[in-house]
Chains A and B, each alone.
Chain A
Amino acid sequence: MKQKGLWLAILFLLALLPVIIGRISPYYNSVLILIGIYIILAVSLDLLVGFAGQISVGHAAFFAIGAYASGILTVKKEVPPLLALVSGLIVSGIVAWIIGRAVMRLKGYYLGMATLGLNAVVVTIITGLESITGGASGLLGIPPFSLFGVALPTHFHYYYFVWAVVVMVFASCLAMVKSSLGRTLIALHSDEEAASTMGIDCPKYKLHVFVVSSMYAGLAGSLFAHYMGFIAPSDFDIFTSVILLVMLFLGGVGTIYGPALGAIFLKLLPEVTYQFQEYELFSYGLILILVIIFMPRGLLGLFTKLWQRWRGPDVSAPSLPLKSVNGEAQAE
Chain B
Amino acid sequence: MGSVYALIALSLVIVYNVSKVLCFAQGEFFVFGALTMIFLTGHGVPMPLGFPLSIILALLLGAVVERVLIKRVQTASIGTVITMTVAVSLFLRGAGLLIWGRESHTLPPFSSAKSLSVMGAFLPVQVLWVIGTTVLVLLVIWWFFERTLPGLAMRACAENRLAANLVGITVWKATLLAWAWGAALGALAGIVVSPLIFVQYVSGTMPMLKGFTAIAIGGLGTVGSVIAGFLLGIIEAFTVGLVSSKFADAVVFTILILVLLIRSSGRFGSSQNGGM
Contacts and interface: CB of A to CB of B under 8 A. Distances in A.
Residues of A in contact with B, size category: 35 or more
B77 A328 contact: yes
A129 to B, nearest CB: 9
B90 A284 contact: yes
A279 B212 contact: no
Interface in B52-99: 69, 72-73, 75-80, 82-84, 86-95, 97-98
Given A57-B82, A328-B76, A332-B78, A125 B257 contact: no
Given A124-B253, A282-B98, A326-B77, A113 B264 contact: no
Interface stretch (A76-84, A154-162, A265-273, A287-295): A287-295
Interface string B232-276: 000000000000101101100110110011011100001101111
A325 B209 contact: no
Contacts of B276: 108-110
Nearest to B78: A108
Contacts of B82: 55, 57, 109, 112
A285 interface: yes
A101 B247 CA distance: 24
B260 A332 contact: no
B17 interface: no
A293 to B, nearest CB: 5
Interface in B29-58: none
A25 to B, nearest CB: 29
A150 B88 CA distance: 47
Interface in A111-136: 112-114, 116-118, 120-121, 124-125, 127-128
A120 B89 contact: no
A280 B95 CA distance: 10
Contact of B205 (A55, A103, A114, A238): A238
Nearest to B249: A124
Interface string B97-121: 1100000000000000000000000
A117 B72 CA distance: 27
Interface residues of B, number: 51
B99 to A, nearest CB: 10
Contact of B78 (A109, A285, A286, A327): A109
B88 to A, nearest CB: 7
A228 interface: no
B260 A282 contact: no
Nearest to A99: B257
Contact of B77 (A124, A279, A280, A330): A330
B4 interface: no
B239 to A, nearest CB: 12
A54 B261 CA distance: 16
Among B79, B93, B254, chain A packs the most CB atoms within 10 A around the CB of B79
B48 to A, nearest CB: 32
A283 B97 CA distance: 12
Given A108-B276, A110-B276, A245-B86, A124 B91 contact: no
B72 A110 contact: no
Contact of A242 (B79, B90, B98): B90
B225 interface: no
B80 A124 contact: no
Given A110-B264, A249-B83, A292-B80, A283 B94 contact: yes
A121 B92 CA distance: 24
Contacts of A117: 209, 212-213, 253-254, 256-257, 260
A112 B264 contact: no
B77 A329 contact: yes
Given A110-B264, A121-B253, A330-B77, A285 B91 contact: yes
B90 A55 contact: no
A280 B94 contact: yes
B94 A289 contact: no
A256 interface: no
B81 to A, nearest CB: 9
B216 interface: yes
A136 to B, nearest CB: 10
B9 to A, nearest CB: 12
A107 interface: yes
A285 B92 contact: yes
Contacts of A296: 76, 80
B22 interface: yes
A282 B91 contact: yes
A306 B249 CA distance: 48
A105 B213 contact: no
A103 B261 contact: yes
A125 B251 CA distance: 10
A288 B83 CA distance: 8
B271 A120 contact: no
Contact of B274 (A108, A112, A118, A242): A108
A189 B12 CA distance: 27
Given A279-B98, A282-B94, A282-B97, A325 B213 contact: no
Contacts of A286: 91, 94
B24 interface: yes
A278 interface: yes
21 contacts: A49-B79, A53-B79, A57-B24, A105-B271, A108-B274, A112-B82, A114-B261, A117-B253, A121-B257, A125-B247, A128-B246, A281-B93, A282-B98, A288-B90, A288-B91, A289-B88, A296-B76, A326-B76, A327-B76, A330-B77, A330-B78
